[in-house]
Amino acid sequence: MAEHGRKSVWGYVGIWGVLVVLTVATWLLGTRGHLGSWSLPVAMGIAVGKTALVAMFFMHLVEQPGARRVVFPVSALFLALLLGVSLVEAMTRVRMARPDGPKALEPARPASTRTAPPGSPTRWMGH
């Protein structure tokens, strides 16, 4: 470690190497991962890890005293709160009845043939 708690050049190169490995991992996940619906959460998790590494080492948060170091995770927490709670709310909404009557009794159609009428509140969710 260099003075003032900073990492040496090789320390930064090592972190850069980890970032490259994580980037390649994301690429492999997209091309050969076959994780299905888990692909996006895993890719987002890797992205969050990379962001944390950049913030901690290249933005020197890790060298800061406690109060200043808390700023980043607190900001991330509030963003996660906004996105997480909004998504949970959207996913637990009661689906609106279609204007031409309830569709629940009909046999399910393939997703590609299902379209919501313009103006349907659930259209943005892809139903």
Interface ranges with another protein (CB under 8 A):
67, 74-75, 78, 81-82, 85-86, 88-94, 118-121, 123-124
> What does the alpha-carbon distance between residue 65 and residue 95 come to, in Å, rounded to a whole number?
49
Q: What sign does the CA torsion over 127, 124, 76, 78 have? A: negative
Q: Report the chain's terminal Cα–Cα distance, integer Å.
A: 54
Q: Which is nearer to another protein, 93 or 98 (CB)?
A: 93
CB of 48 to another protein, least distance (A): 18
Give min distance, CB of 24 to another protein, in A.
Answer: 32
Contact 65, 86 (CB under 8 A): no
CB 7 within 8 Å of CB 57: yes
Distance of alpha carbon 65 from alpha carbon 87, whole angstroms: 34
For the bound state, the minimum distance from the C-beta of residue 72 to another protein, rounded and expressed in Å, comes to: 12
| Shortest CB 43 distance to another protein, Å | 23
Of 88 and 104, nearer to another protein (C-beta) is: 88
CB nearer another protein, residue 45 or residue 121: 121
If DSSP codes are grouped into helix, strand and coil, which group holds residue 102? coil
For residues 18 and 87, which CB has a smaller minimum distance to another protein in the complex?
Answer: 87
